Amino acid sequence: MFPTKQDVHGIKRQEVLREAAAFFNFKGYHATSLTEIATKLGVTKAALYHYFPNKNSLLAACFEQAMDIAFASLERGRRLGENGRGRLVLTISGYVSQLIDELNCCVVLMEEQALEPADRVKLVRQRDRFERGLRALVKEGIEDGSVVPCDPKLAVFVILGAMNWVAKWFKPSGPWKPEQITLALSQIFERALSSTPAAALPRDVGDLPTHQPQAPANPPSLARRLAVSAAASRTPPKQKRRAGGRS
């Protein structure tokens, strides 16, 4: 079965978004030109205008995709979590796994001031809704006893700050794999908020599993289950994205 013109258009648009996000994350929005993006993709600058009329519309599209990922992760966490903490950690896991996915890495959340006013207002409105959703999960956890009593607003700000910075330092060609990063961050956040925190954390991220282990005699921990679930939810990458940052 051959792809339709609409399918081809979607694939190409996604490639442009992915490459633009890699440049924006690595060099910054203002230091990146459409010519650089076009050259990396092996197309003319004029070809980019078929999908985006200017660089700002490309940035806005990156933010829009980032928020789509955020809300999809939130819905997944609400659906699969066993309690407030479980729903929160599953949301975090899904978001981080998509944030560092080679096909969907269109998260450039440090460049919002470069947006046009109308796009920035839209982003702030969506981001506030996502933050309220996360705070609600923290409150649920406090009420059901799975989360230690805390200030939900501050807890969410700390979590989002850490998650959104991953795109700046994660390097796909580095020693840490996406599944390991997802699991390690999830364990840190879960331990910080858990009413029954784990006694220790892994000493080396590189020692964490990168695939689903054989069925153990005892049920796996929430952190391990969410890492496996997050990895399964990611689209298999078809080509490598431009490396940026450090790991």
Q: Does an H or E element contain 40, and which?
A: helix 34-41
Domain that holds residue 115: 63-233
Residue 57 domain-assigned (yes or no): no
Count Cβ neighbours within 10 Å for each residue of 181-201 and write b for 16 or more, e otherwise: bbbbbbbbbbeebbeeeeeee
Q: What's this model's pTM, rounded to 2 decimal places?
A: 0.74
Tokens of 242: 């431009």
Residue-level pLDDT at 132: 97
Domain membership of residue 181 (yes or no) is yes
Please state, in angstroms and rounded to a whole number, the distance separating the CA atoms of residues 28 and 102.
Answer: 19
Phi, psi of 102, rounded to the nearest 5 degrees: -70, -20
Residue 169, pLDDT score: 82
Per-residue pLDDT of the chain (247 residues; tens, 9 = 90+): 555 555 455 558 888 888 888 888 778 888 999 999 888 888 888 888 888 889 999 889 888 888 888 999 999 999 999 999 999 999 999 988 887 775 445 555 567 788 899 999 999 999 999 999 999 999 999 999 999 999 999 999 999 988 878 877 887 788 998 889 999 999 999 999 999 999 999 999 999 998 644 433 333 445 444 444 444 444 444 444 443 444 4
Considering the domain boundaries, does residue 100 fall inside one?
yes
54 is a domain residue: no
Predicted pLDDT of residue 246:
44
Contacts with 231 (C-beta within 8 Å, 6 or more apart), sequence order: 97, 178, 179, 182, 211, 212
- pLDDT value, residue 225: 47
Q: Does 3 fall in a domain? A: no
* Residue 8 covered by a domain: no
pLDDT score of 164: 79
Quick one: pLDDT at residue 199? 94
User: Does residue 160 lie in a domain region?
Assistant: yes
Q: Which two tokens stand for residue 201?
A: 């954390």
Q: What is the CATH number of the domain that holds 220?
A: 1.10.357.10
Domains: count for the chain: 1
